Amino acid sequence: MTSTDAPAPAAPGGRRAVFVDRDGTLNPDLHYLSDAARVEVFRGVGEGVRLLREHGYLVICVTNQSGVERGFYTDADVVAIHERIERLLAPSGAAIDRFYYCPHAPETHCRCRKPGTELFERAARDFGIEFAASAIVGDRSLDVEAGERLGLLTALVPPPGHEAEAAAELRERQSVPDFVAPSFRAAALHILHRG
């Protein structure tokens, strides 16, 4: 995506959504994870997702999964991991409305890899989402940058123990989230407080 490309706007008066990253945000980032049995979700994620949905937000996961193109795992592995996340969220009464993922490596220069916005635009078309009323929660500057391009409220939740690394990446890429939260649940509560 070039700087002159504008994202396709969602229809005014559309639905609200919270876009969420996967690895490092919903679950620990185990780097090129292919085994769904190893997936766990962070404490408080289930409650945060449930609260968002109870207050009328769609929860849409958008994730970069370059391991598919690199040959580290398959599309079927990605689907199995998403099914595992759904099973782990279910006891909290929570669910992800849909998962979207980019299978490409960075050198492919696709529009669907964050901070590209193609997957967000696809979700907006699929669900009638209004970006101005929506938010994104992620652990990397790529999430913040994608949110900035779309006019989303941007929340950064650094993984435990990686706060300094996340801050340095933001400085390097000159990204500034609207707020930083200590946990996914705290980010969800902040979004709900905004209304």
23 labelled catalytic: yes
What are the structure tokens assigned to 117, written together? Answer: 């916005």
Q: Of residues 5, 21, 75, 126, which has the active-site annotation? A: 21
Alpha-carbon gap, residue 32 to 73, rounded angstroms: 8
Q: Find the catalytic residue in 23, 35, 75, 126.
A: 23
Q: Is 126 a catalytic residue?
A: no
Which residues does 143 contact at the CB level (< 8 Å), separation at least 6?
21, 25, 114, 115, 136, 137, 154, 156
Q: Whose CA is closest to 184, among 78, 56, 41?
A: 41
Q: Tell me the residue type at 157.
A: V
Q: What is the rounded distance in angstroms from the CA atom of residue 29 to the CA atom of residue 78?
A: 14
| Calpha distance 73→71 (Å, rounded) | 6
Residues with catalytic roles: 21, 23
